[in-house]
Every structure is written in C-alpha cells, then in structure tokens.
Amino acid sequence: MTVEMLGSVPKFGLGTFRLKDQVVTDSVRMALELGYRAIDTAQGYGNEAEIGKVLGESGVPRSDIFITTKIMPPNYGRDRLAPSLRESVQKLGVDAVDLTLIHWPAPRGEVQPEEYLTALAGALEQGLTKQIGVSNFTTTGLKQAREILGDVPIATNQVEIHPFLQNRALVEFARNEGIHLTSYMTLAVGKVMDDEVMKDIAQQHQATPAQVALAWAMAQGHSVIPSSTRRENLESNLKALNLTLTEADMARIATLDRGERIANPSALAPAWD
C-alpha cells in the first residue's frame, strides 16, 4: 500500500499510543506486513526504540515510510527540544523524522508557546524533521501558533475526534484556515463498536463499526491513526479506505455527538473549544 496523502500528511496510519515492548514490536511488524506505511509515535509513549528496531529489520525502504513523533512537555525548553528530538531520531534509526508535533499545549507549564514553537521551528531548520505541527491545540492555540511560526507551515493539528466528540468548532475553524486535522481515538476506545447507529450503518455496508468511524473521519478530510494489537483488526481497519458513506450515513453519525472527551489530562489540557 502506498501512502495516500491529505496535503502533506498521510491519510491513514498506525497509532502506537499505550503500546510498549513486545506489544508495539508485534503491532508495527504486522502493520508493515499488511501494507501500513505511516507510523505515529511520541516521546511520551516510550516506544520509539522498539519501533526503530522493527523499521530497520522490516526491509521496507525508508523513503516509503512516514514517521511522526511528538515532543513531550519536559523537553519543551529552548535548550532541550532539539536535543531531545535528536535522541528520538536516533532511537527510530533514521536521519530525520517526517513530522514532529508539540504533544500538548501545557498551558500551566513553565515553557510558553513562543519558546517551544520557536524551538520546534529551529529543529526543522536543523533538518531533524521534515515538517512540524501541533497536537491537542484549540482554535485559540492555533491562532497563536500561526502568529509565532509566521511563514512556517503547520502540517497538522492532531486532536481527539470521534462520533461522540465531533469537535465542530475546531473542525470549522481549521477548515476555514486551511489547517489539516488528524483524528486520534477515532474509535472512541472501542465504544463505536457498541453503538446501535454505528452498528446499523455498518450492517448496511457489510462493514464493521470501526470501519464506519474511520471512513466517517476521512470523509471530512481528516487523517486517522487507529491502533490495534491484533492482525485481523489491523487488516480490517485498512478496509475503511475503500468504504464510502452516504450523506444519510453522515447525517446519522452527526447526531451522535455528545461532547464525550476521553483524553483530558488536567496538567496538560487547554480550555477546550
């Protein structure tokens, strides 16, 4: 499978949140065997070295793989960000990553956006990453990031979006501003599998609720990075790329929004839209 892009970011990739040690090794290996060519990780996941080892042993050319990592808040300082990314690059066994994100805005942290975004742009200039972006940023945060970064493009804002948290204010703002969004937790940690509307739509398409959720997000122009530790689920999720939902399907899913946020760490999260 070639990497289909939305702007400068892959449309579909593998997420590795909460996957460590042999679990992440097996998941990434199986995903690569199935045709996945985009891998999303983070310094805070503690699995970059394992992913790098699998990538090195896979036989897949580096040029065919898109690697995203994220800077964790303890490394936001001007003197720490680029060196920490250099460590990530070394762990991943590459010359540079394709995309680096600020993981959380950390509004109550010691390091302010001016400092960490400028440092991230500096890491881009140093060639440690080919693109930069953000994660968990609100509309206010995106406006501020644009002011700080100036002409340096924000490749994506990676945020929680799923049928039960559709993030409409942010989605509309990003669309109007030409900022790409990557949806994480698109399956709402499995809750889409038990929803009657999602199950009914899936049955009509001879699909799974997970495939429907992924197709729904991609239909809105978002990238998705679902994770799994089971080969059959990794393979099944890929089929969402070939699932086209109807306008009626999209309208039914629109009614499921209940503002149910799953990822909301008190020390790192902003005042959400």
Residues designated catalytic: 45
Q: Is 205 part of any known ligand binding site?
A: no
| Six token digits for residue 8 | 């400068």
Angle between helices 21-34 and 48-58 (to 10 degrees): 40
Cα separation of 210 and 103, whole Å? 25
Instruction: Give, as one character, the DSSP assignment of residue 152.
Output: S
Answer for the pair 104, 113: CB distance below 8 angstroms, yes or no.
no
Q: In a 10 Å sphere around its CB, with 0-12 CB exposed, 13-18 middle and 19+ buried, how is residue 53 labelled? A: middle
User: 67: part of which helix (H) or strand (E)?
Assistant: strand 66-71
Cα separation of 261 and 251, whole Å? 21
Collapse the DSSP code of 211 into the 3-class scheme (helix H, G, I; strand E, B; otherwise coil) and give the result: helix
Answer for the pair 227, 15: CB distance below 8 angstroms, yes or no.
yes
Q: Which residues pair with 40 in a beta bridge?
A: 15, 68
Q: In a 10 Å sphere around its CB, with 0-12 CB exposed, 13-18 middle and 19+ buried, how is residue 2 labelled? A: exposed
Amino acid identity of residue 128, one-letter, is L
Q: Which residues pair with 12 in a beta bridge?
A: 224
Annotated binding site for substrate: 103
